[in-house]
Amino acid sequence: MTTPASTLITGIAALVTNDPALGRGPLGLIEEAAVVIADGRFAWVGRAADAPAADAVHDAGGRAALPGFVDSHSHLVFAGDRTAEFNARMSGRSYSAGGIRTTVAATRAATDEELAAGLARYLREALRQGTTTMETKSGYGLNTEDEARAVRIAAAHTDEVTFLGAHIVSPDYADDPAGYVDLVTGPMLDACAPYARWIDVFCEQGAFDADQSRAILTAGRDKGLGVRVHANQLHHGPGVQLAVELGAASADHCTHLDAADLDALANSDTVATLLPGAEFSTRAEWPDARRILDAGATVALSTDCNPGSSFTSSMPFCVALAVRDMGMTPDEAVWSATAGGARALRRSDVGAVTPGAVADLALLDAPSHVHLAYRPGVPLVSAVWHKGEQAG
Ligand code: NIG
Ligand code: FE
């Protein structure tokens, strides 16, 4: 089948564009809308009544539509799972970063093909749920060879690859954390940087402190990588301040913030990326999205999909949690899961339905984007266009 030169998608009951110049409110909402896709981009966006002719027509049948979700934080290069750990946690045990070692052992033992197949499977799973851009991290190899193969495999599947050699101190360096920082900032970074766009550190008690984190992030930045930080997830700590100090694109988790952290985020370009799947799956305190938004910071929502703390690939689920438990309005949550994710990845070509943007679109079996929160757990995403092609 040849791809038509242009496709008109019409009959959209309510379209989230994320461009206030195109429609109503911060979501730039257009009722009775249509879009034209050509060459993988949106060529035209507006009221269906005004739509130009195209080579092919798709009738959305009164469904709502929104930009494909931009999931700016996941850990998908891994093998095995942590069902037993989850079960124990749901019987009262608490989450600790130590479980990461279980996945490191399984990942090291896996073949390249197994890791690639797992990654492809989770990306497909996410795409079916409307995610068209997905960042993913290394961090379950923790030696030069296995971290390098993780970023190499990730780079074959997504442009948004993050080197997270500093997930925890490698078990190989249990007695020599300084030696591990030297490895991460030296040979491991050299081997991984060519495949990655970003560097990340788990700045947390039991992982990396402020000085170690700064050394690692600065080394990555010097190699041309953008900075993102796992910050203030399990305790209050220096992660958010460090992220802002280093001009990070994103400080992720942001569960334990004080007034100075809020102030720092609000006065920076660093996005606060909230990951409600992690709090859900670890029965932890929710990040206070309301407080972060009211302080004036930019918020993104992401899945954190990983086998330990948040084994969900569903952005709709995260939107519903953010609305129910983190004080976000449905409009804010939908913005954060699309445009917010794009900001967290410093991308201006995704996360919005505007002429010239990449034609990533999700149709919902619902008349409004609000149903993503109103109808939790219901598979509402009924069709997805990715780079102008209908997926699935
Ligand atoms: O973002 N916090 C650190 N890393 C992951 C958890 C990884 C794991 O438990 O395997 C997170 O929650
Ligand atoms: Fe994470």
**Cα 78 to middle of ligand 1, angstroms:** 12
Regarding the beta carbon of 89 and ligand 1, being less than 6 Å apart is answered no
Tell me what pLDDT residue 10 has. 98
Closest CA to ligand 1's atom 3? 202
pTM beyond cutoff 0.95: yes
Closest CA to ligand 1's atom 1? 304
Regarding the beta carbon of 202 and ligand 1, being less than 6 Å apart is answered yes
Closest CA to ligand 1's atom 12? 309
Tell me what pLDDT residue 191 has. 99
Closest CA to ligand 1's atom 11? 309
Distance CA 30, CA 14 (A): 6
What is the number of the ligand 1 atom nearest to the C-alpha of 253? 1
Tell me what pLDDT residue 1 has. 55
- Looking at the CA of 308, which ligand is closest? 1
Tell me what pLDDT residue 168 has. 98
Distance CA 77, CA 33 (A): 39
Domains and their CATH numbers in the chain? 6-68+351-390 (2.30.40.10), 70-344 (3.20.20.140)
Let me know: does 380 contact 371? Beta carbons within 8 Å. yes
- Report CA-CA distances (Å) from 383 to 4, 132, 380, 386: 18, 12, 9, 10
Backbone angles phi, psi at 381, to 5 degrees: -70, 115
Let me know: does 271 contact 313? Beta carbons within 8 Å. no
Q: Determine whether the annotation assigns residue 230 to a binding site.
A: yes
Tell me what pLDDT residue 4 has. 84
Tell me what pLDDT residue 97 has. 84
What is the number of the ligand 1 atom nearest to the C-alpha of 140? 10
Let me know: does 78 contact 103? Beta carbons within 8 Å. yes
Label residue 38 exposed, middle or buried (CB < 10 Å: 0-12, 13-18, 19+).
Answer: middle
Q: Determine whether the annotation assigns residue 386 to a binding site.
A: no
Closest CA to 286 of 248, 253, 308: 253
Closest CA to 49 of 86, 12, 7, 19: 12
Closest CA to 388 of 109, 15, 36, 18: 36
Closest CA to ligand 1's atom 6? 309
CA torsion sign, 341 to 343 to 348 to 352? positive
Partnered with residue 66 across adjacent β-strands are 362
Prediction ipTM score: 0.96
Which of the residues in the chain have pLDDT under 50?
A: none
Regarding the beta carbon of 278 and ligand 1, being less than 6 Å apart is answered yes
Helices 100-109 & 144-155 angle (0-180, nearest 10): 80
Name residues with Cβ closer than 5 Å to ligand 2, which is an ion. Answer: 304
Q: What is the CA radius of gyration of the chain?
A: 21
**Cα 308 to middle of ligand 1, angstroms:** 6
